[in-house]
Amino acid sequence: MIVYADTSALVKLFVKEERADETREMLSKAQVMGTGVLTRAELVAALARGVRMGYLTMEEAEEAVRMLGEVWDSWVRVKVDEGVVSRAGDLAWKHGLRGYDAVHLAAALVWQEGMGYPVVLATFDRELWTAAREERLDVWPGSWD
């Protein structure tokens, strides 16, 4: 299984929250795991926001950032170039997605097309999940409860 994970899925690797164990298990089974190169900034920003909102302590967030640094190089990082951004704009318009959700979808599609193998998009963002299905990507989780 080849998995493209967005930030909503990846944060569960570093923070104890709902469905974190299930997500870790699924991602551990991936033969290859990738994400957009900009995800690192988005993930660190989410951790910082968690501290500001009181969901995480500073120590928990700093440990998560350290752990991210350790695993980052083991993931495929899909480049976000002009072609991906242009496609993301089209997808944002078509599906009503937020900007970076559209970038995740475009990056996953471009990665799949470049490899010629199916990619599973892991996300806990309902709009992105729905758009990915409409674009004929496999998605995880398989359904919304």
Tokens matching residue 97: 């997605």
pLDDT tens for the chain, 145 residues long, are 999 999 999 999 999 888 999 999 999 999 999 999 999 999 999 999 999 999 999 999 999 999 999 999 999 999 999 999 999 999 999 999 999 999 999 999 999 999 999 999 999 999 999 999 999 999 999 876 6
Question: Domain tally for the chain?
Answer: 1
Neighbours of 97 (CB within 10 A): 22
The verdict on residue 145 lying in a domain is no
Domain that holds residue 85: 2-140
Residue type, 50: G
Burial letters 27-54, b for 16+ CB under 10 A, else e: beebeebbbbbbbbebbbebbeebeeee
Residue 76 lies in a domain: yes
77 in any annotated domain? yes
Contact 73, 23 (CB under 8 A): no
Question: Residue 56: which CATH number?
Answer: 3.40.50.1010
